[in-house]
Each structure stands twice: as C-alpha cells, then as structure tokens.
C-alpha cells in the first residue's frame, strides 16, 4: 500500500507529530510525504531524512503559506490518485485538512486512530476514551487522522527520501488569511513536552496559578497545562487546556495540581507514563489514575516541593 503523510511544520522544522504519523503510515506500507508551504526547501530536506521515507512531494506556493485547509486539501486529493492512504496527525491543522480530503475523494475519514490492526482496520477512542472501538472500512482509499501520542516517533534522521516538486493547485479562493497571534512561550510545547505541570480551579486566581505552577514547571523544565475550569476562570490561556476539548498529551510525567480528575480532563492525559496528583480531597477521582498521590493543601505542598526539586 502506498501512503501519503501530510508534514506538519512551522516553516523551518518538521514537527514531532509528523514523526509519529510516519510510524502509523509505515504499518500500512510505503511512506510518501507531502510538504506544503512557501519557502519550504529546508523542511523538505529535513522530511527526506526521516527514517523509512520514500518520496517527498513538495508544493511550494504563496497560496500554501499559511496552510489554509481550503487550499491544501485539493492538492492532496489530486495526489490521492496515486496513493492508497492519506494520514495526518490529529492536530488542529491536520483535523482541518483531512476531512476535506475525505470529502473530495468521497470516502469516510477514520479519526484519531490509536493502532493499525490491519490494512483496513484500526482502533480509535470513543466516549472520551472510555471505550476503544475497532473499526473496519470497505473504502478503497483510506483517510486517517492519527492520535500521535499512541505511536512512537520515527527517527528524524537516517532516511534518504527523494524530493520531487509537484505542480500546485493554487488558491481555491474560498478563504483568506487575516492574521495569527502566536503566544510567546519559552517553555516546551505542551504536546511534545516530557514533563507537564497542570493547574486546576483550586489555584483560585491567575496570579496564584502563575506564582505556584510556573516555578515548579521551571525547575522541572516542564510545559504548563491547565484544566478547563482553570482556563474558563481566566487563570491560564486557552492553549494550556488539557482534555477532551483541549490538547491530548502523554508525557513521561504529568503533575496535576488541584485538579479533580473529571472524565473530560482524564481523556487528555491518562496515557501519561507517570501521573502525580496533588489534591486535598483523598477521594478525588484523579487519585484513581495517579501513580503517585499527595493528599494535602497545594498552597503548602507545591512551594515545599518546588524548594526541594
């Protein structure tokens, strides 16, 4: 089977989400990549070095500068004439592109796959991850989005893919890029961080959130996350949210501070390797998934812990 993986990048480097998606694609067959953007020679070079990659298709055009899904999807749909499966990571942009490709080639998308069970069957989470469904498709072409935390990352080096420029499909004139406000953050990115410290509603205010969570995260070299309650209360920005309607993470260590462990929060972090929970209520559901639990008042425990790290 010939697969095509959309390369997620920031204009200069290939994102880790791509590496995990390549691993998923390799379980199906030959891996080809598609790099879309403007001025993406460097990205194409880096993509060609990913272990196991065959061909790297490159579409370089001003129309692709901001990865507008309305422009990217027709290009990929065109390439699907020569490929059997299209895979994109289940990230904001991946989830924007893949369904459009599925619609254009008239197949059903299988979302958020956790494993490849065979050439036409996959597992995926349902009911916010409380059950895992095995789905089998009879479509002749596959469109899949990949839960990247469920797959190991392919090695970023060691490959020798061939780079091939392809004709672009240009501007579909259905959408227009207005602007992007990017949050400046010196900390690791939430979805690729090895350690995450997350704060919940119990922090009580934005000031206290930062006064307690940030120093601990700094000492641990961790990314900062938050529960939806903390985000909704304005203690932390939206892009910190972990959970069903936030980011899905699976770091080596996840520290949940003053987070109750609602099912929707667990859906985003329960695959973390080691979960540490700090909560004053010993019956809080977070302790059911925690490997290490600390029952206590976070306003005492967290500064003590930060001092000792």
Residues paired with 2 in a beta bridge: 30
Of 161 and 268, nearer to ligand FAD (C-beta) is 268
Here the tokens at position 84 are 């059997």
CB neighbourhood size of 239 (10 A): 16
Tally the C-alpha atoms within 13 A of residue 161's C-alpha that lie toward its C-beta.
28
Angle between helices 92-105 and 69-79 (to 10 degrees): 50
Closest CA to 28 of 50, 4, 57, 7: 4
CB of 201 to ligand FAD, least distance (A): 4
Of 38 and 264, nearer to ligand FAD (C-beta) is 264
Of 1 and 128, nearer to ligand FAD (C-beta) is 128
CB of 258 to ligand FAD, least distance (A): 4
Instruction: Look at strands 109-113 and 195-199 and give their pairing.
Output: unpaired
CB of 265 to ligand FAD, least distance (A): 3
**Which residue bears the tokens 């004439």?**
81
Q: Interface residues with ligand FAD (CB under 6 A)?
A: 200-202, 227-230, 241-246, 258-260, 262, 264-265, 268, 279-281, 284, 297-299
Position closest to ligand FAD via CB: 243
CB of 283 to ligand FAD, least distance (A): 9
CB of 225 to ligand FAD, least distance (A): 9
- Long-range pairs of 276-279 with CB within 8 A, sequence gap ≥ 24: 278/302, 278/305, 279/202
Report the C-alpha dihedral over residues 215, 219, 220, 222, rounded to 10 degrees: 50
Of 37 and 200, nearer to ligand FAD (C-beta) is 200
Of 37 and 246, nearer to ligand FAD (C-beta) is 246
CB of 262 to ligand FAD, least distance (A): 4
Of 24 and 212, nearer to ligand FAD (C-beta) is 212
């Amino acid at each position: 089977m010939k697969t095509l993986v959309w390369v997620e990048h920031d204009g200069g480097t290939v994102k880790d989400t791509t590496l995990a998606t390549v691993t998923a694609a390799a379980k199906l067959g030959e891996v080809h990549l598609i790099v879309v953007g403007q001025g993406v020679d460097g990205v194409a070079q880096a993509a060609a070095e990913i272990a196991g990659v065959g061909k790297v298709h490159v579409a370089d055009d001003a129309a692709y500068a901001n990865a507008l899904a309305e422009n990217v999807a027709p290009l990929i749909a065109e390439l699907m004439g020569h490929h059997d499966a299209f895979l994109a990571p289940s990230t904001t942009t991946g989830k924007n592109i893949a369904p459009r490709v599925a619609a254009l080639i008239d197949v059903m998308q299988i979302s958020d796959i956790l494993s490849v069970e065979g050439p036409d069957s996959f597992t995926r989470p349902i009911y916010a991850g409380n059950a895992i469904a095995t789905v089998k498709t009879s479509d002749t072409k596959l469109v899949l989005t990949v839960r990247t935390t469920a797959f190991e990352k392919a090695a970023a080096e060691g490959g020798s893919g061939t780079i091939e420029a392809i004709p672009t499909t240009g501007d579909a004139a259905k959408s227009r890029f207005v602007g992007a406000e990017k949050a400046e953050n010196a900390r690791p990115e939430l979805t690729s961080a090895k350690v995450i410290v997350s704060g919940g509603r119990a922090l009580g205010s934005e000031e206290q959130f930062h006064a307690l969570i940030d120093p601990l995260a700094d000492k641990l070299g961790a990314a900062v996350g938050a529960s939806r309650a903390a985000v909704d209360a304005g203690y932390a920005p939206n892009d910190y949210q972990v959970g069903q309607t936030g980011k899905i993470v699976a770091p080596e260590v996840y520290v949940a501070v003053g987070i109750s462990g609602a099912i929707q929060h667990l859906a985003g972090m329960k695959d973390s390797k080691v979960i540490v929970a700090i909560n004053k209520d010993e019956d809080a559901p977070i302790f059911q998934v925690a490997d290490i639990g600390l029952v206590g008042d976070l306003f005492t425990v967290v500064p003590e812990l930060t001092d000792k790290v």
